[in-house]
């Protein structure tokens, strides 16, 4: 946990942002894996961590905006628990670490929430994303658990998003630690990227680094020589000649802050000339997009800077033609980059997505595009100092998409399908870094992870 003052200050800020009522926060519980006593690795809810810091299952909290009190609910461990789990802190001790004096057993929560509802007070809560939390909320509020997302408080979501979006110095330090772990994961993956090695062996090695140096990975590792599949979680291939391995992997620190880095490495450590041609285009999109990143510019602007560079690069290689401005406006570039430039990152690798992607990355004025490709942009708003983003352009040769568009004759004025077919063996390239928006510009977080052709070939050799 951070010092108790951190949580006290955050809750004070929330008290100021919210007008009245109470906010109910449900911490995560253990989730059974294959039978009740065999559970998944426990991960606390990020909003619970942000406001209370208690990193254990079985807790809830109420923040009363009218009386100004904050309360922690939880049950003390009994002797049976201690026999199996060892000595445990009391609820009072844990609450004190969070700067909270008032605690009650869990059984009291429903009674207190019902008392508030009886007085016609508003009970705010955030949208739950786990079945267990939906059931618990439903039973406390006496509402249909399936309705919990629609009944969630827009006012509380807005307040929490405004706070969590701007990272404190201690949070940035944690994210940098997560990127440092990712450095070791990615350099290890590059060194292991040799002919005849199994993807699974590399996947296991880098997952092990994340566990040895922090709380594990921040999302399931994406590692494949079929990098044209954007989120490829199958690791069954043996590394083959003329393939590139896309490794999209990040770590979570012990305080649960994330990193999210992608590197693309040629099997055997040397780029072929065709691989290099495509790689250099994506690298330019990555570095130019990062260069342009500063307060006031929007993530949508940065997205289109990268899309134009990808399209210009494809034109330079003969895969696209005509006006690049018109091609990007029409959405033709999305054949090669069918995803957004990046997302916010913090306690969640896609930060606060549980609160609703559009609540984080869009506004009443700025609505999500319906165009293929741009529709996947998770955040379109302006950057502010303290925001942390991923910048992750890519270029992919997806056989099914190329076949569909080519058969439909889609964007024939902008795409030379004959030439595209020649590049299919390249598979996919993505290069992703984690960037902090500063007062005047930006800072790429963590130790620089090799990403130029020469740097990668040097590490591999």
Cβ contacts of residue 245 below 8 Å, gap of 6+? 189, 193, 199, 202, 223, 224, 225, 227, 239, 264, 265, 266, 267
Work out which of 45, 260, 312, 351 binds ligand GLY, going by CB under 6 A.
260
Q: How far, in Å, CA of 24 to CA of 21, rounded?
A: 10
Work out which of 45, 260, 312, 433 binds Mn ion, going by CB under 5 A.
260
Work out which of 129, 219, 372, 417 binds ligand GLY, going by CB under 6 A.
219
Binding flags for Mn ion, 413-432, as an x/- string (CB under 5 A): -------------------x
Q: How far, in Å, CA of 418 to CA of 404, rounded?
A: 14
Q: Which candidate, 266, 292, 302, 263, places its Cα nearest to that of 179? A: 263
Number of residues that bind ligand GLY (CB under 6 A): 5
**Cβ closest to ligand GLY, residue 27 vs residue 250:** 250
Q: How far, in Å, CA of 19 to CA of 121, rounded?
A: 12
Cβ contacts of residue 272 below 8 Å, gap of 6+? 242, 266
Quote the least distance from Cβ 331 to ligand GLY, whole Å. 20
- Chain positions 237 to 256 lying near Mn ion, rule: CB under 5 A, are 248
Quote the least distance from Cβ 346 to ligand GLY, whole Å. 14
**Cβ closest to ligand GLY, residue 192 vs residue 251:** 251
**Cβ closest to Mn ion, residue 55 vs residue 207:** 207
The DSSP code for 294 is -
**Which of ligand GLY, Mn ion, none interacts with 219 (beta carbon under 5 to 8 A by kind)?**
ligand GLY
Quote the least distance from Cβ 286 to ligand GLY, whole Å. 13
Work out which of 45, 171, 180, 248 binds ligand GLY, going by CB under 6 A.
248
**How many CA atoms lie less than 13 Å away from 343 in the CB half-sphere?**
23
Quote the least distance from Cβ 307 to Mn ion, whole Å. 16
**Which of Mn ion, ligand GLY, none interacts with 55 (beta carbon under 5 to 8 A by kind)?**
none
**Cβ closest to ligand GLY, residue 64 vs residue 432:** 432
**Cβ contact 55:1 at 8 Å:** yes
CA distances from 309 to 317, 320, 414 (A): 12, 12, 15
Quote the least distance from Cβ 378 to Mn ion, whole Å. 9
The DSSP code for 320 is B
According to the binding rule CB under 6 A, does residue 376 interact with ligand GLY? no
**Cβ closest to Mn ion, residue 59 vs residue 336:** 336
Work out which of 341, 390, 437, 460 binds Mn ion, going by CB under 5 A.
390
Quote the least distance from Cβ 148 to ligand GLY, whole Å. 26
Collapsing DSSP states into helix, strand and coil, what is residue 82? helix
Cβ contacts of residue 432 below 8 Å, gap of 6+? 248, 260, 261, 262, 263, 286, 342, 390, 391, 392
According to the binding rule CB under 6 A, does residue 392 interact with ligand GLY? yes
Binding flags for ligand GLY, 64-93, as an x/- string (CB under 6 A): ------------------------------
What is the CA angle 299-210-261, rounded to 5? Answer: 25
According to the binding rule CB under 5 A, does residue 70 interact with Mn ion? no
Contacts 24+ apart (CB under 8 A), 333-336: 333/307, 333/308, 333/373, 334/307, 334/371, 334/372, 334/373, 334/374, 335/401, 335/402, 335/405, 335/411, 335/415, 335/420, 336/310, 336/311, 336/395, 336/396, 336/397
**Cβ closest to ligand GLY, residue 52 vs residue 183:** 183
Using CB under 5 A, list all residues that contact Mn ion: 248, 260, 390, 432
Using CB under 6 A, list all residues that contact ligand GLY: 219, 248, 260, 392, 432
């Amino acid at each position: 946990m951070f010092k108790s003052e951190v949580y006290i200050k955050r809750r004070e800020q929330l008290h100021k942002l919210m007008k009245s009522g109470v906010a109910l926060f449900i911490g995560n519980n253990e989730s059974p894996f294959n039978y009740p006593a065999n559970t998944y690795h426990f991960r606390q809810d990020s909003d619970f961590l942000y406001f209370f810091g208690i990193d254990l299952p079985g807790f809830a909290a109420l923040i009363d905006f009218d009386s100004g009190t904050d309360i922690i609910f939880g049950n003390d461990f009994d002797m049976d628990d201690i026999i199996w789990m060892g000595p445990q802190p009391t609820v009072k001790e844990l609450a004190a670490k969070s700067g909270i004096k008032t605690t009650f057993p869990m059984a009291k929560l429903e009674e207190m929430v019902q008392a508030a509802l009886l007085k016609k007070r508003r009970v705010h809560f955030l949208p739950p994303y786990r079945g267990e939390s939906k059931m618990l909320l439903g039973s406390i509020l006496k509402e249909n658990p399936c309705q919990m997302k629609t009944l969630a408080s827009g006012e509380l979501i807005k307040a929490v998003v405004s706070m969590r979006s701007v990272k404190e110095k201690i949070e940035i330090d944690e994210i940098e630690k997560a990127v440092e772990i990712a450095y070791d994961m990615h350099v290890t993956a590059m060194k292991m990227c040799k002919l005849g090695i199994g993807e699974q062996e590399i996947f296991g090695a880098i997952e092990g680094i994340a566990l040895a140096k922090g709380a594990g990975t921040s999302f399931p590792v994406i590692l494949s020589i079929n990098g044209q599949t954007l989120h490829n979680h199958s690791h069954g291939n043996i590394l083959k000649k003329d393939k590139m391995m896309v490794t999209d992997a990040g770590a979570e620190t012990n305080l649960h802050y994330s990193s999210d880095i992608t590197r693309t490495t040629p099997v055997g450590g040397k780029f072929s000339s065709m691989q290099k041609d495509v790689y250099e285009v994506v690298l330019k999109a990555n570095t130019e997009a990062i260069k342009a990143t500063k307060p006031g510019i929007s993530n949508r602007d940065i997205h289109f800077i990268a899309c134009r560079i990808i399209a210009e690069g494809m034109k330079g290689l003969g895969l696209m033609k005509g006006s690049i401005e018109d091609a990007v406006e029409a959405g033709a570039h999305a054949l090669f980059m069918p995803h957004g430039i990046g997302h916010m990152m913090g306690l969640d690798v896609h930060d606060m997505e549980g609160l609703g992607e559009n609540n984080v990355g869009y506004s009443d004025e700025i609505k999500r595009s319906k165009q293929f490709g741009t529709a996947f942009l998770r955040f379109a708003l302006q950057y502010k100092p303290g925001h942390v983003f991923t910048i992750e352009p890519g270029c992919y040769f997806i056989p099914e998409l190329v076949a569909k568009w080519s058969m439909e004759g889609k964007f024939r004025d902008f795409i030379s399908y004959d030439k595209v077919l020649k590049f299919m063996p390249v598979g996919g390239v993505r290069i992703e870094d984690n960037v902090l928006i500063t007062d005047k510009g930006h800072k790429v977080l963590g130790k620089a992870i090799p990403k130029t052709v020469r740097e990668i070939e040097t590490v591999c050799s």
